[in-house]
């Protein structure tokens, strides 16, 4: 690599214009691959870029009429440049990612969260191995499992692993000084090797089971424990059987990640990007040995109109700059320069790294799940702090209100063919979602036909505003909304208008939000009395804000409906599931440990149980997750 000189000065000692700086450097700019840096008057990096042909790429900055506003400002602030040549474009990409992370240039897409990831370590430097959390350099002898998304994910996994395998977590010095077992032994989270409560070969057998479980052999371990539990029960060693049951239950909880475990994935990261309101959220899920090790959300800094492809490419380059890339990275979008990026990551890893964009099957479900998480995380972020006040001001403009709304109420219904029907109201204001003000309405109308959504909305709004008129007729308690948003179209809006007319409610703006063509998010239509239906720009922050409110109302309605249906059934036991006889019930309980854990399991986990095919697994899942 070689480095060119910095910027020049005018004869009178003043700094030349940004374009003059670029033109000056172009006279001696090579046509080879490399990285360039634009610097301001304080010597700070404004922008770092890479190029296959430096001269050709940098020439673009002299054509001001073709530059987007962000780059135009960047060139105007430039007083110096630095250039580093590389042998290949791949080297340039790796160097660019490293410099962006280190220098944090103002005009680049930046990954701001750079925390390291924790691992689980099964130590190998002691005759009685321990299982501990580890972060940082891997200097200690042993086997490392991870990465996990957060310390919380590791702590939760460690707690369950202690129950499942009874391995010690104490330090070597504490272990050497103990003569009596500690509290963890008493609560059955350790086998007590410090006090000779277990033979060494038996303890090492538990260590081997833990290693095999963390390496992806969970089904074998669970089958062995299930057989041991049955054997102990038949021999009337009920205390031993209960211990095996608790260990099975702990393992099932480690595996229960809401249907996002895929045993055939040995080593992969799932990376999904969602944009809204001029910002991006990237969710990363970590899969190792078929197990989901958690996820983390990132919010890269970038210009409001930055395209998804460039944001994703910049994120991947910076994210893996100081981390070992896995063998496969599953993506929601094709990143810019994807082939180049895959080659660069392969060089960094020292082996082939595959970038894939799943289109169908279980892998596509993983992407969709990660996208949903990204969307929800971005919604929460946009709803926080000062951004909320700006969104309310823009909402005021969109709906023609007299002032930014202090209280927005959003309504939705949920039912299954009319049964267990409920209405839900969520509330938002200047401080975000006001969950203490949420309300649920059990639909009581005996004359409603099954699935009569208009009739249900009429009942909900009538009860809500008749009560408001009775309890706060002067509207002095702040419990009257400025805006009512209904999930639905023109028909739902007409129903709401009729309710307001019947009750004499005035001074509350009504609006409805309906899905656009093909029910695509981003193409919603808004309906208001006396106004043609209209849409907002796909990247309008207000659209994203209103989508989030609509989705929160839907989430609350679905949750309320599930709770009511579950209560109506009594306890959600396996006996209530059609097609589940004694044999299948026994297999499920042996695999998961309890009916409650069966209810929380995902489809993939259910299918892994002997004797449970996909159709039966779907029946069980639908029973405990109505409306999904």
Per domain, the residue ranges of the chain are 2-103, 119-255, 267-382, 385-566
Of the two residues 138 and 125, the one the predictor is more confident about is: 125
Of 481, 538, 482, 547, give the one whose Cα is nearest residue 514: 547
Is residue 78 helix, strand or coil? coil
Same fold, 267-382 and 385-566: yes
Task: Please give the class, per CATH, of domain 2-103.
Answer: alpha beta
The CATH number for 267-382, chosen from 1.20.1270.30, 3.75.10.10, 3.40.50.620, 3.30.420.10, is 3.30.420.10
What rounded mean pLDDT belongs to the chain? 83
Q: Could you read off the pLDDT of 13-64 as tens digits, one per residue? A: 444 478 999 998 999 899 999 999 999 988 999 999 999 999 999 999 998 8
Say if residue 245's pLDDT is above 90.
no
Q: Could you read off the pLDDT of 76-117 as tens digits, one per residue? A: 999 999 999 999 999 999 899 989 988 999 899 998 766 677
Say if residue 561's pLDDT is above 80.
no
% of the chain exceeding 90 in pLDDT = 32
Of the two residues 210 and 492, the one the predictor is more confident about is: 492
Q: What topology is assigned to 385-566 in CATH? A: Nucleotidyltransferase; domain 5 (3.30.420)
Amino acid 263: pLDDT: 60
Say if residue 344's pLDDT is above 70.
yes
pLDDT bucket at 251, cuts 50 / 70 / 90: low
- Do you know the residue count of the chain? 628
Amino acid 11: pLDDT: 44
Report the distance separating Cα 174 and Cα 193, nearest Å. 12
Say if residue 501's pLDDT is above 90.
yes
Q: Could you read off the pLDDT of 394-435 as tens digits, one per residue? A: 999 999 998 899 999 999 987 655 456 788 999 999 878 898
Is residue 474 helix, strand or coil? coil
CA 173 from centre of chain = 40
The mean pLDDT value for 337-352 works out to 91
353-359 contacts, C-beta under 8 A, 24 or more apart: 353/325, 353/326, 353/327, 353/328, 353/329, 354/327, 354/328, 354/329, 355/329, 355/331, 356/328, 356/329, 356/330, 356/331, 357/330, 357/331, 357/332, 357/333, 358/330
Of 402, 405, 374, 377, give the one whose Cα is nearest residue 391: 405
Q: Could you read off the pLDDT of 514-543 as tens digits, one per residue? A: 986 555 566 789 999 999 999 998 878 899
Q: Could you read off the pLDDT of 275-290 as tens digits, one per residue? A: 987 889 999 998 876 6
| DSSP secondary structure letter of residue 130 | B
Is residue 464 helix, strand or coil? helix
The mean pLDDT value for 58-75 works out to 88
Question: Is residue 457 within 8 Å of 413, Cβ to Cβ?
Answer: yes
Of the two residues 319 and 627, the one the predictor is more confident about is: 319
Q: How far apart are the first and last CA of the chain?
A: 56
pLDDT bucket at 571, cuts 50 / 70 / 90: very low
Q: Could you read off the pLDDT of 547-560 as tens digits, one per residue? A: 989 989 988 888 76
Report the distance separating Cα 208 and Cα 31, nearest Å. 57
Number of other residues whose CB lies within 10 A of the CB of residue 112: 10
The mean pLDDT value for 476-501 works out to 91
Exposed/middle/buried for 579, CB within 10 Å: 0-12, 13-18, 19+?
A: exposed
Residue 542 in tokens = 């207000």
Of 406, 322, 365, 400, give the one whose Cα is nearest residue 147: 322
Say if residue 477's pLDDT is above 60.
yes
Question: Is residue 51 within 8 Å of 57, Cβ to Cβ?
Answer: yes
pLDDT bucket at 272, cuts 50 / 70 / 90: very high
- Alpha-carbon distance values, 411 to 49, 440, 589 (Å): 48, 10, 39
Residue 376 in tokens = 């929800």
The mean pLDDT value for 190-195 works out to 88
Q: 173 CB contacts (<8 Å, ≥6 apart)?
A: none
């Amino acid at each position: 690599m070689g480095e060119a000189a910095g910027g020049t000065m005018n004869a009178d000692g003043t700094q030349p214009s940004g374009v003059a700086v670029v033109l000056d450097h172009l006279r001696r700019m090579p046509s080879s691959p490399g990285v360039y840096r634009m610097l301001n008057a304080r010597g700070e990096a404004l922008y770092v870029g890479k190029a296959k042909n430096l001269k050709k790429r940098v020439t673009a900055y002299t054509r001001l009429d073709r530059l987007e506003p962000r780059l135009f400002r960047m060139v105007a602030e430039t007083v110096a440049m630095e250039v580093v040549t590389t042998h290949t474009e791949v080297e340039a990409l790796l160097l660019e990612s490293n410099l962006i992370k280190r220098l944090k240039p103002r005009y680049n897409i930046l990954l701001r969260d750079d925390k390291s990831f924790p691992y689980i370590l099964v130590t190998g430097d002691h005759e009685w191995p321990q299982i501990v959390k580890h972060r940082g350099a891997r200097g200690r002898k042993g086997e490392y499992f991870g990465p996990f998304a957060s310390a919380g994910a590791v702590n939760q996994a460690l707690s369950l692993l202690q129950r499942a395998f009874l391995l010690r977590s104490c330090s070597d010095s504490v272990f050497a000084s103990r003569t009596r077992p500690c509290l963890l032994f008493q609560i059955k989270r350790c086998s007590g090797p410090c006090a000779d409560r277990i033979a060494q070969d038996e303890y090492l057998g538990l260590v081997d089971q833990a290693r095999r479980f963390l390496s992806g052999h969970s089904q074998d371990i669970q089958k062995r424990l299930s057989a041991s539990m049955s054997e102990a029960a038949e021999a009337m060693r009920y205390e031993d059987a209960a211990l095996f049951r608790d260990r099975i239950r702990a393992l099932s909880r480690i595996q229960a990640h809401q249907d996002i475990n895929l045993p055939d994935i040995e080593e992969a990261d799932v990376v999904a990007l969602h944009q809204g309101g001029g910002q991006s959220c990237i969710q990363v899920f970590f899969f190792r040995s078929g197990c989901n090790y958690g996820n983390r959300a990132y919010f890269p800094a970038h210009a409001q109109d930055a395209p998804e492809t460039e944001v994703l490419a910049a994120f991947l380059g910076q994210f893996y700059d100081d981390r070992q890339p896995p063998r496969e990275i599953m993506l929601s979008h094709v990143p810019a320069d994807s082939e180049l990026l895959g080659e660069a990551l392969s060089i960094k890893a020292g082996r082939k790294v595959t970038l894939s964009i799943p289109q169908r099957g279980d892998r596509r479900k993983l992407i969709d799940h990660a996208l949903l998480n990204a969307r929800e995380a971005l919604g929460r972020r946009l709803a926080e702090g000062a951004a909320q006040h700006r969104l309310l001001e823009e909402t005021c403009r969109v709906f023609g209100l007299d002032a930014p709304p202090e209280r927005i109420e959003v309504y939705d219904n949920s039912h299954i063919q009319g049964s267990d029907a409920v209405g839900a109201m969520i509330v938002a204001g200047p401080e975000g979602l006001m969950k203490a003000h949420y309300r649920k309405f059990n639909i009581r109308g005996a004359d409603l036909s099954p699935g009569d959504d208009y009739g249900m909305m009429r009942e909900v709004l009538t009860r809500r505003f008749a009560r408001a008129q009775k309890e706060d007729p002067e509207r002095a308690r702040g419990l009257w909304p400025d805006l009512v948003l209904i999930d639905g179209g023109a028909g739902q809006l007409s129903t709401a208008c009729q309710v307001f007319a019947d009750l004499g409610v005035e001074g509350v703006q009504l609006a409805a939000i309906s899905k656009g063509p093909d029910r695509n998010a981003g193409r919603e239509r808004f309906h208001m009395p006396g106004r043609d239906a209209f849409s907002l720009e796909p990247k309008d922050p207000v659209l994203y804000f209103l989508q989030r409110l609509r989705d929160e109302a839907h989430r609350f309605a679905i949750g309320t409906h599930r709770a009511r249906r579950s209560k109506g059934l009594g306890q959600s036991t396996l006996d209530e599931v059609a097609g589940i006889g004694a044999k299948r019930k026994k297999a499920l309980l042996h695999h998961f440990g309890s009916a409650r854990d069966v209810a929380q399991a995902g489809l993939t986990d259910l299918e892994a149980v002997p004797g449970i095919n996909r159709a039966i697994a779907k029946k069980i899942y639908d029973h405990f997750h109505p409306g999904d």
